[in-house]
Amino acid sequence: MVIVFLVLLVLSGIGLIIFILMHSGKGTGISDAIASSMYSTQTGTSIIEKNLDRITIACAVVFLLSLVVLMIVYPHGTISQ
């Protein structure tokens, strides 16, 4: 069980890094360069940015939940080598 949560923690952490870096800031981002033609003219936000937001939030939730579970299972100082 611990290995599963450790793998989830690492994978969601890497996913968070990748997906946060893909977000566009004030200028153009990677997501705009990939699919600049997929814009929604009504909201001003691209469809890809909305999906990127959802994926980033999902990664953050998985990261936090796995972190909390690991903190409950192994409180400070109980992991033995």
Contact (CB, 8 A) for 22 and 15: no
Q: What pLDDT digit, counting tens, does each position of 2-16 carry?
A: 889 999 999 999 999
Q: Does any domain span residue 81? A: no
Confidence band for 33, pLDDT divided at 50, 70 and 90: low
Q: Does any domain span residue 29? A: no
Q: Does any domain span residue 32? A: no
Number of separate domains in the chain: 1
Conformational region of residue 50, where left means phi above 0, alpha means psi within -120 to 50, and beta covers everything else: alpha
Contact (CB, 8 A) for 25 and 62: no
- For the entire predicted model, the pTM comes to 0.70
Range of the domain at 6: 2-22+41-73
Q: Distance between CA atoms of 71 and 54, rounded to whole angstroms?
A: 26
Q: Does any domain span residue 78? A: no
Q: Does any domain span residue 79? A: no
